[in-house]
Amino acid sequence: MRIEIISSLTQINPQAWNRLVLDNNPFLRHEFLVALEQNGCVGEAFGWLPHHIVVYEQDTLVAAQPLYLKNNSYGEFVFDQMWAQAYHHYKLRYFPKLVTAIPYTPATGQRLLVQSGREAELYPLLLSATLQLAKELGASTFHCLFPPKAQQDWLSTQGLLTRHDCQFHWINLNYQTFDDFLNTLQPKKRKNIRQERRKVQDVGIQLRCLNGHTATPQDWEHFAHFYNRTFEEKWGVPTLNEGFFKQVAANLPDQVVLVLADKGDACIAGSLMFSSNTHLYGRHWGCTEYIDSLHFEACYYQGIEHCIKHGLQVFEPGAQGEHKVPRGFIPTRTQSSHWVAHAGMRQAIARHTVQEQQAVAEYMREVWEHVPYRPEIVSEHFAPYLPAPSGMPTFKH
């Protein structure tokens, strides 16, 4: 075995990396991560410094891990500002830290990439290399964000602390049409969705659902403008750019879903989603003109229709947003794993994570009381997703 730390994925054969990616996850594919690097979306400017781990057996890549050295907490979606403040209070240095995640992408997915069947052998190798690098770089912590349940469970057995959070996901119950989905909802919720869709139609909005093959350079220029405008209005930092969008569309054309909204001759809004073999992931939205319910149509209803048409099982529309619940999205627990070098801070943070897990569980129980589905649909189809009456929720998803 040969372990290397690389500063760019351009140093890795794309096919070798992608062979380790499960479910054709777009965010883990070599093309996506390289596009971030080559278009300046990660690096010194935004505080995401690539330190990817790769493991070779002779000349074959058998394991890998996307890894970044961070000097801030921007673009992670697992918020640790309170931890940083606590370190500062006790005159301890919190940055730099190491993060395994997809930059600016709060989507659950593989984080330890290994040859199938060799998890027991290769997971410890990746974690050992990560913690050794953390010590060499003086990192205060290591964070593995949004791993799948199996990897999360394994990391917890290795002494890493577990954090919980809640997102809202849509589950495909083998619908054949959008009306099939609507018929699982309570009558009032069904009526509200139809009214929202009708509002968009009544003002003459034309929607175009495109992929990397059908979207033109001008379409991507429009979307890049919408994306920048969203961040400017919210006092955020637009880390992605037109070059990134065009490169990903060219290299992952079948996994890009771009919804654009036209009003007359003007393109006024757009949403960007990505698909794996089984999931659709909503990522970005922007507009130049407010149209009632257009956000719901472009970001949610078009995504649901895409899932139904292509047989995708789950739609993850992004982080947070209770407004997703009446539109058919159910509370779903997400997790992250954390290694803390300082023994005293580790104990304090461990207590905090337990309290946080309890708070998330209680919040999810409350949200389940407001899901829009008919009671018989919930009991028949969503039992595996329901939280326990008390204590921690037990999700199989």
| DSSP letter (8 states) at residue 211 | -
pLDDT in tens, 280-293: 999 999 999 999 99
pLDDT in tens, 201-250: 999 999 999 999 999 999 999 999 999 999 988 878 899 999 999 999 99
Residues 6+ apart with CB under 8 A from 304: 170, 178, 181, 315, 328
Give the H or E element holding residue 31. Answer: helix 30-38
What's the mean pLDDT in 340-359?
Answer: 97
pLDDT band at 328; cut points 50, 70, 90: very high
Q: How far apart are CA 77 and CA 86, in angstroms?
A: 19
pLDDT in tens, 374-389: 999 999 999 888 877 7
Nearest alpha-carbon partner for 270 in 249, 195, 34:
249
Q: How far is CA 217 from CA 38, 220, 222, 294, in A?
A: 18, 5, 9, 23
CATH superfamily, domain 173-312, is Gcn5-related N-acetyltransferase (GNAT) (3.40.630.30)
Mean pLDDT is lowest, of 62-76, 183-197, 222-236, 264-278, for 222-236
* pLDDT at position 387: 77
Domain residue extents for the chain: 2-166+332-385, 173-312
Q: Burial of 342 by CB count in 10 Å (0-12 exposed, 13-18 middle, 19+ buried)? A: middle
Instruction: Decide whether 2-166+332-385 matches 173-312 in CATH topology.
Output: yes
**What end-to-end distance do the CA atoms of the chain give, in Å?**
34
pLDDT band at 394; cut points 50, 70, 90: very low
pLDDT in tens, 41-89: 999 999 999 999 999 999 999 999 999 999 999 999 999 999 999 999 9
Q: How far apart are CA 88 and CA 90, in angstroms?
A: 5
pLDDT in tens, 99-128: 999 999 999 999 999 999 999 999 999 999
* pLDDT at position 386: 84
Could you tell me if 20 and 63 are in contact, meaning their C-beta atoms sit under 8 angstroms apart? Answer: yes
pLDDT band at 390; cut points 50, 70, 90: low
Domain at 2-166+332-385: CATH code:
3.40.630.30
> Which residue in this structure is represented by tokens 């005293």?
344
Give the H or E element holding residue 123. Answer: helix 119-137
Q: Burial of 335 by CB count in 10 Å (0-12 exposed, 13-18 middle, 19+ buried)? A: buried
What's the mean pLDDT in 8-31?
Answer: 98
Output the pTM of the full model: 0.95
397 pLDDT more than 70: no
* pLDDT at position 396: 37
Q: How far apart are CA 371 and CA 234, in angstroms?
A: 29
Q: How many C-beta atoms lie closer than 10 Å to residue 197's C-beta?
A: 17
